[in-house]
Structure 1
Amino acid sequence: MRSIYLVLDMENDLVAEDGPSGKGPLGQQVRERGIIARTATAIAKARAAGVPIGFVRVGFSPDYRECPTTSAIFGGAKQHGLFKLGTRGTEVHADLAPQPGDFDIVKHRVSPFYGTSLEPVLRAHGIERIFLSGVSTVAVVQGTVRDAHDRDYVCVVLEDCCAAASAVDHAAAIAVLQRFTTFTTSEAVDFAA
């Protein structure tokens, strides 16, 4: 079964210690759970198994033309200068540095399937299974699993590489996803299986 590992929203605005979200509850959970180091381990394992990596990033043009002003999540992005493409904030965290040949999927909504190049990339490469992880569990991880499920992809979530703004939110998100996906960890994952 041909696979890909999608690394979801592991960008500086969300996970860097000095980033806007990195200073808040999400950043605290990312640090407490060791998300960046575990994700780096998982990426290395995927590369060793010959599984392609796709980095999904939320980002908007400098004039925020794609940003929905009515969105509870993204509505304040322009006012606060968040998720602006071409800035450090939308770059993947340096410890997870993309390499040539990795896929870069830029999204303007929660789901990486909505209005992006993701599905054409998956189809062009015959991908049937999506390994995934990232932040936050209640948003992009859930959105990816649900949309991938409805497009007939097999999903495997690396639970110890995901975080939300609180441990309670993370646990609740994982609980509701059990009907749509299977779970593993950065240590147990077998990308070659």
Structure 2
Amino acid sequence: MGLQINHIDPKKTALLVIDMQNDFVASGAPLETAMGQKMLPRLKDVLEFSRTKGISVIYTAHVHREDGSDMGLYEEIYPSVADRACLIDGTLGTEIYPEVAPLENEIVIKKHRYSPFFGTNLDMILRNQGIENVAIVGLTTEDCCFAAARDAMYRGYKVAFLSDVTGTYDYGDIGFGKVPAEEVHRVCLTILGGSTAHVMKAEDFMQKVEGTEEVEQV
């Protein structure tokens, strides 16, 4: 049946906001992801709820050095990365989309691979905060969100994967036919729900959070 999370303690939970950067979300961006735009209202609700309940909000941003020294095979996989058209650290494209930008006191983890745990101090930060559960939102379902969920599970965190606050883009034909974004998303949710995480909607997540005390924002 897969992992089941019945109750969520906000003090032991972190919301991981994966790669909601201009390069993925902004209209006309090199890696524009239409599902990212569509889920913005729900993401805003989840962010406001999490901050009010005292859930730790941590952002990630996928970035690379302009000299390519940390790109690895991404240059071969993504032409726009090879051309330095996106994901170059310090450029406007790598900043978090303004509508869902982090608060001044919220952490942004810069990462260089799909997983936010690979080559970063995210695990150290989560453990230092006493985090036991992570809720994953953002882009894209099959790459960075999927990798985040898997790596979190490997490290013993219980993962809530929010199905209506994650998304992806259409895939072209590489010999198996074109795959629309909604189908990629559906299949990945099915795989994650059976092997890695409790897949749930934003409303379900908020209902599972324990306690009703609100946290004053600083």
- TM-score, structure 1 normalization: 0.90
**Quick one: distance in 2 between partners of 1:73 and 1:54?**
27
Q: Which residue of 1 aligns with 2:205?
A: 189
Which of 63, 82, 85 lines up with 2:67 in the alignment? 63
Structure 1 runs not aligned, ≥5 long: none
Q: Which residue of 2 aligns with 1:180?
A: 196
**Quick one: distance in 2 between partners of 1:131 and 1:162?**
11
Superposed CA offset, 1:137-191 (max 9, x none): 0101110111111100000011101111111100111011012111222233227
Instruction: Tell me, yes or no, if the aligned pair for 2:134 and 2:158 is still in contact at 8 Å.
Output: yes
User: What's the CA shift for 1:41?
Assistant: 1.0
Q: Cα RMSD (Å) of the superposition?
A: 1.7
Q: Which residue of 2 aligns with 1:38?
A: 42
- Map 1:64-143 → 2, pairs under 5 A: 64-69=68-73, 73-74=77-78, 76-143=80-147
For the residue of structure 1 that corresponds to 2:188, the secondary structure is helix
Structure 2 runs not aligned, ≥5 long: 1-8, 170-180, 211-218
User: What's the CA shift for 1:54?
Assistant: 0.6
User: What's the CA shift for 1:133?
Assistant: 1.0
Which range moved further: 166-175 or 64-73? 64-73
Instruction: Tell me, yes or no, if the aligned pair for 2:160 and 2:205 is still in contact at 8 Å.
Output: no
Q: Which residue of 1 aligns with 2:148?
A: 144
Instruction: Tell me, yes or no, if the aligned pair for 1:47 and 1:53 is still in contact at 8 Å.
Output: yes
**Quick one: distance in 1 between partners of 2:165 and 2:125?**
23
**Quick one: distance in 2 between partners of 1:62 and 1:96?**
26
The total of aligned residue pairs comes to 187
User: What's the CA shift for 1:126?
Assistant: 1.0
- TM-score, structure 2 normalization: 0.80
**Quick one: distance in 2 between partners of 1:161 and 1:103?**
20
Which range moved further: 153-162 or 66-75? 66-75
**Quick one: distance in 2 between partners of 1:160 and 1:10?**
14
Task: Please list every run of at least 4 consecutive aligned residues from structure 1 whose deviation after the TM superposition is greater than 3 angstroms.
Answer: 69-76
Q: Which residue of 1 aligns with 2:184?
A: 169
